[in-house]
């Protein structure tokens, strides 16, 4: 599926982090060589992109890096790989975080809000892919939850205990990369009914 | 939520055309405004080469307002350079839809296609499955009265679980294809033996 941010940057990369996860891989248009160098040297520990993410743990946010922030050894090396990101975005969804860095030296600061919107859409698209991993039983549980069944009703239908339902919900969240079942259900509904439901009065 | 389902047949001389127009308006909202698909529209309505008098539309109505709709077309339909949407997509004739999606090509008076399913956002999430299944049941009853025995549709594969939970005999009828807006697969719903007698 195409990323909504694709055409806005010369090159970009992002890391999707499930709750408690540390950066170890990225989805990126930067070269494989840069990706390998970046994670081998744990550059995320000194990268202003991740420093911004650490400061934005509660809210989704974005910024353009200043020239001062981009003058250090990391950026000198990054420039050789055309990976000197000047735009940073952090997106949060249901406990999952996406940290994004993109290269576009011509970027108009007034456009950052719309690009942040595209980053958040990209984040959701990546999480939606994880829904394809759900088993038939997990889909049945999502279906009952979507129809508004209470946990005790779902438990009765499945013939299992309430705590087993809680465990199954947790397993679904883990598969999708979130820690909030309601958020996961919203994603599921978005994917399932996308293309079938429209605003109409 | 109170509503009822019925069929809209363009060949019906007493047809309330406003219902049909509402279907096309809802489709425009869903497929063009919401999804941004590059489809033909005119006067606030979306319609295509399959919207001929041979098609029949199933609608869910609440106080004469369309809550949901779906188009039925017999699979032996011949429109010159087109057949029915799923087969034309399978044969690679429809841009933006995946090809090679059917286990086998079907063109039979026994099998109908359901397409252009659209549901209004006025239907709460918790009731969408019910509206969808009611549309399908009404469509299946109509197909049964015309001697049909099965229905083809193209949807996100999770709907197989929805249909099976609702007691419908639904199964996958081709590969799961990834496309721009998510995953799709062709599914086949077999009517219960004797459904024609019940529906008649």
| pLDDT tens-digit series, residues A79-97 | 999 999 999 999 999 999 9
| pLDDT tens-digit series, residues B151-164 | 999 999 999 999 99
The yes-or-no verdict on residue B189 having pLDDT over 80 is yes
Tokens 């990054």 belong to which residue? A78
Q: Which of B133, B182, B183, B184 to mutate to test the interface with A (most CBs of A within 10 A)?
A: B182
Interface predicted TM-score (ipTM) of this complex, two decimals: 0.88
Would you state the pLDDT for residue B197?
Answer: 47
Report the CATH architecture of B4-199: 3-Layer(aba) Sandwich (3.40)
Find how far residue B35's CA is from the centre of its chain: 17
B26 contact residues in A (CB cutoff 8 A) = 198, 200
CA of B200 vs chain A CAs: smallest distance (Å): 30
Tokens 């339909």 belong to which residue? B77
Contact criterion met (CB < 8 Å) for A1 and B119: no
B181 contact residues in A (CB cutoff 8 A) = 1, 194-195
Task: Tally A–B CB contacts below 8 A.
Answer: 78
Q: How confident is the model at residue B1 (pLDDT cuts 50, 70, 90)?
A: confident
Residue A80: partners with Cβ closer than 8 Å, 6 or more residues away: none
- For residue A167, what are the CA distances in angstroms to A152, A185, B80? 14, 15, 56
Query: Structural domain boundaries of chain B?
Result: 4-199
Q: Is the dihedral of CA B49, B54, B58, B61 positive or negative?
A: positive
Q: Is the dihedral of CA A18, A167, A190, B189 positive or negative?
A: positive
| pLDDT tens-digit series, residues B75-130 | 998 888 899 999 999 999 998 899 999 999 999 999 999 999 999 999 999 999 99
CA of A108 vs chain B CAs: smallest distance (Å): 26
**For chain B, which residues lie within 8 Å of any Cβ of chain A, measuring from their own Cβ?**
25-26, 29-31, 33-35, 117-123, 125-129, 156, 158-159, 161-162, 165, 178, 180-183
Ordered domains of chain A (ranges, CATH):
6-124 (3.30.450.80), 136-193 (1.10.10)
């Amino acid at each position: 599926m195409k990323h909504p941010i694709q055409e806005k940057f010369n090159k970009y990369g992002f890391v999707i982090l499930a709750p408690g996860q540390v950066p170890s891989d990225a989805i990126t248009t930067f070269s494989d060589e840069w990706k390998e160098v970046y994670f081998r040297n744990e550059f995320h520990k000194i990268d202003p992109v991740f420093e911004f993410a650490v400061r934005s743990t509660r809210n989704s946010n974005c910024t353009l890096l200043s020239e001062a922030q981009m003058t250090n050894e990391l950026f000198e090396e990054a420039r050789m790989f055309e990976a000197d990101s000047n735009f940073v975005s952090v997106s949060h969804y249901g406990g999952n975080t996406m940290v994004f860095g993109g290269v576009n030296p011509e970027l108009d600061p007034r456009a950052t809000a719309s690009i942040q919107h595209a980053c958040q859409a990209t984040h959701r698209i990546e999480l939606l892919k994880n829904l394809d991993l759900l088993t038939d039983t997990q889909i049945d549980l999502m279906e009952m939850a979507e129809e508004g069944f209470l946990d005790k009703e779902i438990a009765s239908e499945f013939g299992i205990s309430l705590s087993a339902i809680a465990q199954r919900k947790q397993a679904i969240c883990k598969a999708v990369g979130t820690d909030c079942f309601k958020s996961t259900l919203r994603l599921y509904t978005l994917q399932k009914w996308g293309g079938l439901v429209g605003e109409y009065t | 939520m109170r509503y009822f389902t019925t069929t809209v047949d363009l060949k019906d001389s007493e047809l309330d055309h406003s219902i049909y127009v509402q279907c096309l308006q809802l489709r425009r909202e869903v497929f063009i405004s919401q999804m941004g698909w590059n489809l033909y529209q005119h006067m606030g309505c979306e319609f295509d080469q399959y919207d001929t008098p041979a098609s029949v539309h199933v609608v869910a109505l609440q106080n004469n307002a369309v809550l949901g709709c779906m188009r039925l077309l017999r699979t032996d339909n011949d429109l010159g350079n087109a057949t029915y949407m799923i087969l034309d997509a399978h044969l690679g004739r429809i841009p933006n839809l995946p090809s090679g999606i059917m286990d086998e090509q079907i063109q039979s008076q026994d099998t109908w296609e359901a397409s252009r399913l659209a549901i209004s956002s006025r239907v709460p999430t918790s009731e969408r499955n019910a509206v969808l299944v009611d549309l399908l049941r009404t469509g299946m009853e109509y197909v049964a009265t015309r001697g049909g025995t099965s229905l083809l549709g193209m949807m996100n594969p999770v709907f197989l679980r929805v249909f099976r939970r609702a007691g419908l005999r639904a199964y996958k009828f081709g590969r799961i294809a990834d496309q721009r807006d998510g995953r799709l697969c062709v599914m086949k719903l077999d009517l219960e033996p004797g459904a024609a007698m019940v529906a008649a």
